Structures are given as structure tokens and as C-alpha cells.
């Protein structure tokens, strides 16, 4: 009986030691920073930024034309020229619709290009990099910095730079 009690006690102590060894170590990653840093110098991102500027200039030019029409409309009203004022009012309405449609189309085009940048291939490579860093550094859980409830963390558990370095290595 004594042997069984001692054996049970030893098993309990051994289980406690094993459980103590399995501490959960948590890392965090700032996905947005990794993405933005990784793609900052890429040709695709430069092209996206060029298109964004080009589209904004196109919309700004249309808005300037709209303002010109509004000024001419005001002048026509001041001169009691109802025929010209009515014609300009129609042009203003058409121009406003055109600008809204143009902005919507351009925004959609930019969103489509940005979505392609976040392709499944990139997400798979990022997941592989996160897994590699977590396993090689001994982390058992990796959380995103934008996770709800994450209040504070030490920079010592931020693996964003390590994941970025791994991404650069596997992307060469």
C-alpha cells in the first residue's frame, strides 16, 4: 500500500513538473506594418501610388470644371439670363453625376489592384514566415496587434521584424 501511495505521489509530482514545462509563450505581430514595409519598395505598390495620384488629378480637374460652371451659372443668374442659367444648371447636374461615377469607378479600380497585392500567395508566404519564426523562437501562440482585448505588450514579444526578415528571405 505504501508503494502505491509513493508511486501515486511521484506520478503527481512528475505530472506537475511536466505541466510547468509547458508554459504558453505568446508573441505578437503587427500585420499592417509587415505588409506595408514588405511592399513599400515594390514596383506594384509604386504603380498603385502612381495610379492613385493620377486618378486624384483627374477628379480634381473635373471638380475645377464644375466650379467654373457654377461661377458661370452665378454670373448668368446675376445678369438675369435664365436661358443660359438653365442650360448651365443642367450641365452642373450632369457634371456632378459624372464626377460621382468617375470617383466610384476609380476607387473600385484602386481597391481591385490593392486586393491583388494582398493575394493568397502573399498571405500564404506570410503565414509560413510567422509559423517559422514562432516555432524557431519557441512561441506557442501568435496574436495580431489589432486583436480585440490586446491592451499592452513588451517589444520583446513583437516578432514583426523577424517575420519581415523571413519574408524577404523566402521571397528572393
Count Cβ atoms within 10 A of the Cβ of residue 163 and give its class: 0-12 exposed, 13-18 middle, 19 or more buried.
Answer: buried
User: Has residue 10 got a pLDDT over 60?
Assistant: no
> For all residues of the chain together, what is the average pLDDT?
84
Contact 32, 154 (CB under 8 A): no
Highest mean pLDDT out of 5-19, 20-34, 97-111: 97-111
Chain Cα centroid distance, residue 81:
52
Q: Which has the higher per-residue pLDDT, 98 or 22?
A: 98
Domain ranges of the chain: 21-170
> Phi and psi dihedrals of 143, rounded to 5?
-115, 150
**What integer is the mean pLDDT of 99-115?**
91
pLDDT tier for residue 13 given thresholds of 50, 70 and 90: low
Which residue pairs from 130-134 have beta carbons closer than 8 angstroms and sit at least 24 positions apart in sequence? 130/29, 130/159, 130/163, 132/166, 133/27, 133/159, 133/162, 133/163, 133/166, 134/27, 134/159
pLDDT digits (tens, 9 = 90+) for 55-77: 999 999 999 999 999 999 999 99
**What integer is the mean pLDDT of 116-134?**
82
- How high is the pLDDT of residue 155? 83
First-to-last C-alpha distance (Å) of the chain:
66
Helix and strand element counts for the chain (H, E): 6, 2
Question: Rounded to the nearest 5 degrees, what angle is found at the Cα of 165, between the Cα atoms of 162 and 169?
Answer: 135
Q: What kind and span of H or E run contains 12?
A: helix 2-21
**What integer is the mean pLDDT of 105-131?**
83
Say what the pTM is: 0.52
In a 13 Å sphere around the CA of 144, the CA atoms on its Cβ side amount to 10
Count Cβ atoms within 10 A of the Cβ of residue 111 and give its class: 0-12 exposed, 13-18 middle, 19 or more buried.
Answer: exposed
pLDDT tier for residue 82 given thresholds of 50, 70 and 90: very high
Amino acid at each position: 500500500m505504501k508503494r502505491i501511495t509513493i508511486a501515486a505521489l511521484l506520478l503527481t509530482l512528475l505530472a506537475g513538473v511536466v505541466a510547468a514545462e509547458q508554459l504558453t509563450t505568446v508573441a505578437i505581430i503587427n500585420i499592417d506594418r509587415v505588409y506595408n514595409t514588405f511592399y513599400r519598395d515594390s514596383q506594384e505598390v509604386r504603380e498603385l501610388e502612381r495610379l492613385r495620384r493620377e486618378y486624384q488629378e483627374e477628379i480634381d480637374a473635373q471638380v475645377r470644371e464644375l466650379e467654373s460652371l457654377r461661377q458661370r451659372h452665378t454670373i448668368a443668374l446675376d445678369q438675369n439670363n435664365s436661358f443660359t442659367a438653365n442650360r448651365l444648371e443642367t450641365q452642373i447636374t450632369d457634371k456632378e453625376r459624372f464626377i460621382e461615377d468617375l470617383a466610384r469607378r476609380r476607387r473600385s479600380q484602386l481597391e481591385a489592384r490593392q486586393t491583388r497585392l494582398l493575394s493568397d500567395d502573399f498571405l500564404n508566404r506570410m503565414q509560413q514566415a510567422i509559423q517559422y519564426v514562432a516555432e524557431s523562437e519557441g512561441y506557442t501562440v501568435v496574436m495580431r496587434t489589432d486583436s480585440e482585448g490586446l491592451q499592452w505588450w513588451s517589444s520583446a514579444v513583437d516578432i514583426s521584424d523577424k517575420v519581415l526578415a523571413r519574408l524577404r528571405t523566402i521571397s528572393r
